[in-house]
Amino acid sequence: MPDTLVLDVAGLEVGNDADRPFTLGPLDLALAAREIVGVVGDSGAGKSLFVSTLTQTLRPSATVVSGEVRFEDADLLTLDHRRQQRIRGARIGFIGSNPHGLLHPMLPVGRQVANVLRAHEAVSKTEARARVLDMFSAVGIPDPARRLDAYPHELSGGMAQRVVIAVGLICDPDLIVADEPTAGLDVTIQAQVLELIEALVRSRENRALLLATRDLGIVARFCDRVVVLDDGQVAEQGPVRDLFRTPEAAISRELLTAARGF
Ligand SMILES: Nc1ncnc2c1ncn2[C@@H]1O[C@H](COP(=O)(O)OP(=O)(O)OP(=O)(O)O)[C@@H](O)[C@H]1O
């Protein structure tokens, strides 16, 4: 794979039989450095299933049927457990929605971010605290030194979401995978959070972002390319401007209509 590719997914098919028979793919998708690629589709289209394949958090009901997910010099799907652990949360950072669900309610937020860092890097507690402090500043948490010791319930939704972003970025990942990272936030806070994630992606040479969302408005504003999923199948994919100018699939037109609010 060329140096500039951060992720290269080829012929990926994932089945899931828990609630209903469902197949994602076959899906081909390459992400270059500094690129932001959207994965869009209605509820149940398979966005989270795809994200979970990349973050290696598939539940036992799901099976990878075929394909490759090349990241760094390896196929994520065939890595041994130790290398999976090393990559997950460190080389591939995850940003989910619902921060109050993702964060542990009984631990100060600074410690939670530090724990992620210390799980992957041999740093002292003091050094970890300093790194987390820097990261809290980078993600725009005001008065970061004081916020290190706050509990999640003491933070607003937007502030807690910034902590989730800090968790995703603390190990300086090359790939960031975000699944509805602004769901449940006020519209103005949504824009701030997405602008922040965008800046953190574009500011680093080898970093790319995969952004799963139902909202084509978000795709229009932040993504370079997009994959439209419809019931697990790729309905179309390509540059975002092409999708907006000449949507080919019926589902793309439906999502566009929804995004334009009429
Ligand atoms: N981590 C996972 N492990 C196993 N199966 C999963 C996982 N995530 C989602 N699924 C399953 O994949 C199928 C497609 O749903 P999925 O949640 O991926 O859709 P989605 O596009 O993310 O929808 P929404 O926008 O509502 O989150 C469902 O059967 C779901 O239960």
87-137 pLDDT tens trace: 988 899 999 988 888 899 999 999 999 999 999 999 999 999 999 999 999
H runs (alpha helix) in the chain: 47-54, 81-87, 99-102, 109-120, 125-138, 144-147, 157-169, 187-202, 216-222, 240-245, 250-260
Q: Is 58 in the pocket of ligand 1 (CB under 6 A)?
A: yes
**Is the CB of 214 inside a 6 Å radius of any atom of ligand 1?**
yes
Q: What is the pLDDT of residues 137-154, one digit of tens each?
A: 989 899 999 999 999 999
ipTM of the complex: 0.98
Q: May I ask the CATH class of domain 1-91+178-262?
A: alpha beta
Model pLDDT, residue 3? 55
Domain residue limits, the chain? 1-91+178-262, 98-170
Up-side HSE of residue 7: CA atoms within 13 Å toward CB? 29
Residue 93: CB within 6 Å of ligand 1?
A: no
What pLDDT score does 82 carry?
87
Ligand 1 close to Cβ of residue 49 (< 6 A): yes
Ligand 1 atom closest to Cα of residue 45: 21
Does any ligand 1 atom lie closer than 6 A to the CB of residue 63?
A: no
* DSSP SS3 for 88: strand
The stretches in the chain having pLDDT less than 50 are 1-2
Q: What is the pLDDT of residue 1?
A: 45
Residue 192's pLDDT is 87
The atom of ligand 1 lying closest to the CA of 41 is 21
CB atoms under 10 Å from CB of 39, counted, come to 27
- Which ligand 1 atom sits nearest the alpha carbon of residue 232? 14
Question: Residue 184: its pLDDT value, please?
Answer: 78
> Is 183 near ligand 1, meaning CB less than 6 Å away?
no
